[in-house]
Structure 1
Amino acid sequence: MIKRQEFYSEIHYKIFLTEHDETIEFFKARTLKSDSTEEEAALRSRFFQRLALHKLLAAYTVGEEISALLPLLEDLIDKYQIRQAKLAEYEQCPDISPLAIDAYPYQYEECIQVIGFCILLHRTDLLGRFVQLIDNAGYAGNDTVYEDLLCKVLPDRHDVDQWYHDVYSPLVQAIYAKTKEDATNFLEQYCSEWYDAFTQAPWHGTHLQGEGGSYVGYWGIEAGAIAFLYDIDDSKIDHMVYPKALVEYARNHKTPYREGSP
């Protein structure tokens, strides 16, 4: 394996995998502190969904083969569906989203990271399952980046000219740039501003914790998905958060996965 970010080592990854398995075993016979069975189930579902996301990110960061990410992405989408179901039961809101993408920039980022993974791995079947959870909560047709990621791979999307969070303005400008050079420059600007825009995110600064910390990588996966979908020249983009290996995989495997696709 050739690691994809300088802050992450194979030792770090081995520690993560060991703790990941130990955590799963630990919680098989234990519950999270809560005031009700429904609340505990909701908290548990988010905990294990985030654990699945961290495993996917860690595998990519350490340099695992791209094909090894596919089962991890499948498991993650399963976990989001469980999360939505348990949260809906607890909140008594059947169509609640597993992520509050309008209210919290880091949850929006999580959302479009997952969308980006689905696009770049050509798993439109998983993308449809995930997006349904977000759409059902009323988020469809309200955000440009969300819709522009989806419109080329899923049917009946929306054309909108607004977005929830300012950090994504350069990404929108990259999509609608008048020249290819401008598109590249906006994409590069987005990547350079990405990390500093998420100072309130729970993962911000985790690379400073050392090999026993919770860092699993910093990735603007959505930037790669936009470059792939809109044929943006990324040959000169060398920013740490830009997922070059995933984009290369997407471009070399242009026939999307179709079994069970929406």
Structure 2
Amino acid sequence: MIDSHCHLNFSAFNSDRKQVLQTCTERGVSSLVIPGTQANSWDNLISLCKRSTRLNFALGLHPYFLDDYCESHLQQLDELLTLQKGHVVAVGEIGLDFSLSIDSDLQEQVFAAQICLAEQHDLPIIVHHRRSHNALIRILKEKCFGNGGIIHAFSGSFQEAQTYIELGFKLGVGGIITYPRAKKTRAVIAKVPLTSLVLETDAPDMPINNKQGQRNSPIYLPIILEALQALRCESAEVVKQACWQNTLDILANIKR
């Protein structure tokens, strides 16, 4: 299994990161993708991932951290994408979060600029969304972005899912589907093409059902897979293999 979205570099894992990776191995989680979130953490993220053949990194400016944004961050990102060509798997985590107090125009400006960088460096993108599907889809269409990517923690409508899929994106399937009350998202994930789904935990955030209030971890990815297998009409092994291949298809630079 591949965890396509996990923040293993966050301080929540400082005390037991090595043990978490060992438990991942025991549970069949063989690769992890760690998205970047802010410029001042990119170097440490790259260093962490280069110490393990199982860790992969993306680089991006997350809307949550734009309070300290300056234009030089985009230049720094451009330079790192060039320097890390063949190693970086995507531009991300980028996107729009309209639940934040951060100016929406600034969010859209930075998101659009990072789409352009992804296009220039021939990379997919990993997209954060919250109350922002319409704006995200509008910008992706305006930019004619053709490299696709992953819509992280997808929780939109079936129509929105179809639109993203038509634009070349996979949908990130995380802990939300382990909650019986998440009926809308579970119904959409059960219905979309299997070729459009990838697994993720978003650890240490987005805990699975019955783990509320606890640190989320990539060791729980098999539980998310089991929940997905229960929703789908295909056999469990077909679902597992498809999620693996879908991730490799969209993030071509993943270490193998």
Instruction: Report the structure number with the largest CA radius of gyration.
Output: 1
Q: Give 1 or 2: higher helix fraction.
A: 1
TM-based fold match above 0.5: no
Q: Give 1 or 2: higher strand fraction.
A: 2
Using the size of structure 2 for normalisation, the TM-score is: 0.30
